Amino acid sequence: MDANRFDLPGADIAWCPGCGDFRILESLKKALLELGLSPLDVVVVSGIGQAAKTPHFMTSHFFNGLHGRSLSNATAIKAANPSLKVIAVGGDGDMYGEGGNHFTHTIRRNPDITNLVYNNMVYGLTKGQASPTSQIGFKTPVQVEGVSSHPFNPVASALIAGATFVARGNAGDVEQTKELIKRAMEHKGYALVDIFQPCVSFNNLNTYKWFSENTYWLEDHDEGDFEKALSLVMAEAPFPLGVLYREEGRPTFAETLLAYRENKEPLFRRKASRNAVRKIMEGMCS
Amino acid sequence: MHFSSLEGRTDLSCVFCGAAGLGIQTVEDLLARVIVNEGLYVFGSREYMSRVRGGSNSTEIRISSSPVDALVDRIDLLFALSAGVRENIRERITPDTVIFGDRDELKEEADELGGTFVNIPLQDIAKEVGGKIYSNSVAAGFLFGILGLGLDGAREFFEQRFADKKPEVVEKNMKAARTGFDQGEALVEKKGLLDGYTRLKEKESMILSGTDAVGLGALAGGCTFAAAYPMSPSTGVLTFLASHAEECGVAVEQVEDELAAINMAVGAAYAGGRSMVTTSGGGFALMTEGVSLAGVVESPVVIHLAQRPGPATGMATRTEQGDLLHALFSSHGEFPKAIYAPGTLESAFKITQKAFATAWSYHTPVIILTDQYFVNSFRNLSPETFEFLPELPEIEKTGPNYRRYEDTPDGVSPYGIPGWGEGIVGGDSHEHDEEGHVYEDFHLRTRMQDKRMRKLEGMKREALPPTLIGPEKYETLVICWGSTLPIVREALKNLGRADTALLAYEQVWPLHSSTEEYLRKASRTVMVEGNSTAQFARLIRCETGVALSGSVLKYSGLQFSVEEVEKRLTEFLSGKEGSR
């Protein structure tokens, strides 16, 4: 791999050898470099899980918060300073399980952030339990007779909740996934990139081989066709990869905030509006 | 003849009670405004059921020629506007209470309430004017008639309130008020009940509630970001900030749950937003993991916690001081926090600013404890009473070698934010190194924990001292915190004991260092607080080793009244009431 200003020399990477997360990190750093960004432009926000360790293995601003809450952190970071490029990264358990409620409502707000979900259909950090996206029948030390709950469909859920950019990548396809991340970052509004990612330690069902045999990259797809996107996200294997749906022009969260209607300064440039406070007080007088 | 007990008095307590949705609040707002315009003082306190329509709510309005700011039991004038007057009001009716109501509405209840009943045919008059919806204006007019206030204020008020309606709406309301007024004036034979009250030349014309005081304090303190999930009784602060979002440049968002609220607040602060959340006990319970996050990432967030009775859903629209220890011991792990508990509106304004200053000086969560009684009570003050604290310093640019968690003698690391300077800014919920990267090293862990906890030493030095009210040399020391301050103060004034002083706390953590000395000077110490386990007394014992002699507690869901504190303190001092 070529040197990249987003590399973190000396980082003690805690992922298992062969983990799909290495490929996603490579795609992400390449994407940022090709977009001409500097580590000072970017904030990588994460929660807890193997995927959520990403910001500790690269150079950029970072905020590694709580399990499931990174979308709330990321939404507010972008709202506080809209000039920052904000990326929320995490795994399927973090984003779709613990953070499921925030996933839905963040999509509704449409903050201008990129949401990368490393979807390996298993819990890695806690050693091999089912995740919301595990397939029916997947056996684990907890789901001893196999998973019985229907798998959560993140791309369909995002589409239904009103996501303005929904894409799916595959960790094994570094170049194509890099392109998806670039497009997600260029999209104005919330952009989901759900990335199929093999867990080499705890998921012997959904392997590199399984993902390459059960996916295909979309060609000549009309990204603005919602009906078509609906049928694509509901399809059984093989699963389509690429930008499934894209909608331009919806106002972003920051654009809808009254705080920015007149005043375009980021929040940290603002002073307490004491004249405004005195005026409110006058309004409380007769 | 009905009003002989009021002669010579310059403090009148009026209570309005009735079903939700009758427009009683309009009458209260109108009355408060007119009283203040007269150059008098007003205090109001609302108690209400957790329902939008029906039920029975009440508001006490005290009118005085000197400042008033505390709840009393005494009811001089009771306006019973719908049937079903609840026990908490009935208990307070004495033979001196004059009760006004419409016999057609109250039926036999009119004669059961006690006191002296005066019939006002509200509904008949309202129907003549144009419908039942005018009955509150009839009542307002009647009240103005007996108080001797004239109707100019009412016209002005109606014109403002109905500015976007047809002019005839104002005229119909005025006609209703005029009819009521004539009857009221006749009843007192044109000798208004407020005629003997001294008027101020320089009227104190700002009317505001506890909610307003916290909201204004937040804006003055520099708040630029607020996220909350609606929960009584804390929602008013969210509403207040939302209504001033544009002119004050505050990003305000109603979120999906309290977890999102606190995590947004922490996120915004990481990027330089001056964050605040507002919630009540149950919502705060959900936030506690995020409060812990704020502790370890060293995030300046201000949390307004308006208490109501728990456990769990408890009593949604009632009051209690039951979350003190919950707030103090909230969240896993050890980290510094400050907890304020304003007792008056002017200090709520100042303390909310102070909360932002403390949060941004020490980069740690700061909690403002209020309660339903406090946020829903209102009074008039002069805007000059409100003190602005110095503005927060600007955030400095980071240098190329910036480290967010630089180890420093006082534990406070320079606060850098992404997008402002040449440094990389990290934040991490794990134990971390000085750059903010997760790193497991036992020496580092000890060093970083010590660094964070050192901030508490500075916070202790800056803690607000308690206020001693009464004689410097005292035998008995009464202690209170938060919203009970004005009530206990008035009760002690009424008791007039030369050997008894009040020590009122508006910061309950960290405790000011003078605490032990104050306690040791007293031969008897008694806590007055609104919970069932004397939480602040326990905290004081924990911190000073001094066990108080006793406590006067209340946890019914209603606030203490002045009379109740007087009575129970008297019993305590005579040995009748022990520690409970």
End-to-end CA distance of chain B: 44
Q: Is B70 within a domain?
A: yes
Is B37 in Cβ contact with A65 (below 8 Å)? no
Same structural domain, B404 and B287: no
pLDDT value at residue B580: 43
- Is the model's pTM score more than 0.90? yes
Nearest CA in chain B to A64: B428
- Chosen domain end from B347, B363, B385: B385
Q: Is A10 within a domain?
A: no
Give, in order, the Cα–Cα distances in Å from B268 to each of A81, A114, B224, B276: 8, 17, 9, 10
Q: Is B150 within a domain?
A: yes
Alpha carbons B449 and A46: distance in angstroms, whole number: 23
The shortest CB-CB distance from B33 to any of A64, A263, A286 is to A286
Same structural domain, B476 and B500: yes
SS3 A249: coil
Q: Which of residues 66-85 of A touch B (CB under 8 A)?
A: 66, 68-69, 72-81, 83-84
> What CATH number did the domain enclosing A227 receive?
3.40.50.970
Same structural domain, B350 and B212: yes
Same structural domain, B93 and B153: yes
Q: Is B302 within a domain?
A: yes
- Can you say whether residue A18 is alpha, beta or left, with left for phi > 0 and alpha for psi between -120 and 50 degrees? left
Range of the domain at B402: 398-462
Is B37 in Cβ contact with A276 (below 8 Å)? no
Contact B225, A81 (CB under 8 A): no
Size of interface A-B (CB pairs under 8 A): 216
* Counted domains in chain B: 4
Buried-state track B377-414, b at ≥16 Cβ within 10 A, e below 16: bbbbbebeebeebeebeebeebeeebbbbeeeeebbbb
Contact A72, A47 (CB under 8 A): no
Q: Is A9 within a domain?
A: no
Higher local confidence (pLDDT), A44 or A3: A44
Residues A121-141: tens digit of each pLDDT: 999 999 999 999 999 999 999
Same structural domain, B339 and B291: yes
Q: Is A232 within a domain?
A: yes
Residue B259 has, within 13 A of its CA and on its CB side, a CA count of: 17
pLDDT value at residue B578: 52
Predicted ipTM? 0.98
Rounded to the nearest angstrom, the minimum Cα separation between B165 and chain A is: 21
Range of the domain at A219: 20-283
Alpha carbons B580 and B577: distance in angstroms, whole number: 8
> If we measure between CA atoms, which residue out of B26, B350, B385, B77 comes closest to residue B203?
B385
Residue A4 has what DSSP assignment? -
Alpha carbons A152 and A132: distance in angstroms, whole number: 5
Same structural domain, B230 and B369: yes
Q: Is B149 within a domain?
A: yes
Residues A1-42: tens digit of each pLDDT: 567 999 999 999 999 999 999 999 999 999 999 999 999 999
Same structural domain, B511 and B403: no
Residues A62-111: tens digit of each pLDDT: 999 999 999 999 999 999 999 999 999 999 999 999 999 999 999 999 99
- Chosen domain end from B332, B363, B385: B385
A150 touches chain B (CB under 8 A): no
A126 touches chain B (CB under 8 A): no
Contact B343, B214 (CB under 8 A): no
pLDDT value at residue B400: 96
- Chosen domain end from B385, B419, B440: B385
Alpha carbons A23 and A28: distance in angstroms, whole number: 9
Query: Which residues does residue A2 pair with via DSSP β-bridges, in sequence order?
Result: none
Contact B138, B120 (CB under 8 A): yes
The shortest CB-CB distance from A258 to any of B246, B255, B395 is to B246
The shortest CB-CB distance from A102 to any of B227, B256, B437 is to B256
The shortest CB-CB distance from A277 to any of B208, B220, B255 is to B220
Is A267 in Cβ contact with B274 (below 8 Å)? yes
Same structural domain, B420 and B529: no
Least confident of A155-164, A260-269, B125-134, B544-553: B125-134
Same structural domain, B21 and B122: yes
Q: Is B202 within a domain?
A: no
Write out chain B's pLDDT in tens, 580 residues. Answer: 578 888 888 899 999 998 888 888 888 899 999 999 999 999 999 998 888 888 888 999 999 999 999 999 999 999 999 999 999 999 999 999 999 999 999 999 999 999 999 999 998 999 998 888 898 899 999 999 999 999 998 898 899 888 898 889 999 999 999 999 999 999 999 899 999 999 998 889 999 999 999 999 999 999 999 999 999 999 999 999 999 999 999 999 999 999 999 999 999 999 999 999 999 999 999 999 999 999 999 999 999 999 999 999 999 999 999 999 999 999 999 999 999 999 999 999 999 999 999 999 999 999 999 999 999 999 999 999 999 999 999 999 999 999 999 999 999 999 999 999 999 999 999 999 999 999 999 999 999 999 999 999 999 999 999 999 999 999 999 999 999 999 999 999 999 999 999 999 999 999 999 999 999 999 999 999 999 999 999 999 999 999 999 999 999 999 999 999 999 999 999 886 554 4
Q: Is A175 within a domain?
A: yes
Same structural domain, B10 and B108: yes
Q: Is B198 within a domain?
A: no
Same structural domain, B123 and B151: yes
Residues A280, A281, A285: CA angle, nearest 5 degrees: 115
Alpha carbons B41 and B372: distance in angstroms, whole number: 22
> What residue ranges in B472-576 does DSSP mark as E strands?
476-481, 500-505, 507-509, 524-529, 550-553
The shortest CB-CB distance from B205 to any of A78, A80, A285 is to A285
* Counted domains in chain A: 1
Q: Is B290 within a domain?
A: yes
> What CATH number did the domain enclosing B561 receive?
3.40.50.920
Q: Which residues of B touch A61 (CB under 8 A)?
A: 418-419, 424-426
SS3 B336: coil
pLDDT value at residue B577: 57
Q: Which residues of B touch A66 (CB under 8 A)?
A: 263, 289-290, 293, 429
Q: Is B484 within a domain?
A: yes
**What is the CB neighbour count within 10 angstroms for residue A279?**
13
Same structural domain, B104 and B247: no
Q: Is A90 within a domain?
A: yes
Residues A172-226: tens digit of each pLDDT: 999 999 999 999 999 999 999 999 999 999 999 999 999 999 999 999 999 999 9
Probe site for chain B from A61, A85, A105 (most B CB atoms < 10 A): A61
Q: Which residues of A touch B297 (CB under 8 A)?
A: 63, 65
Token pair 């209260």 in the structure block, residue: B28
The shortest CB-CB distance from A276 to any of B248, B255, B426 is to B248
A281 touches chain B (CB under 8 A): yes
Token pair 């534990």 in the structure block, residue: B411
Q: Which residues of B touch A40 (CB under 8 A)?
A: 418-419, 422, 424
A101 touches chain B (CB under 8 A): yes
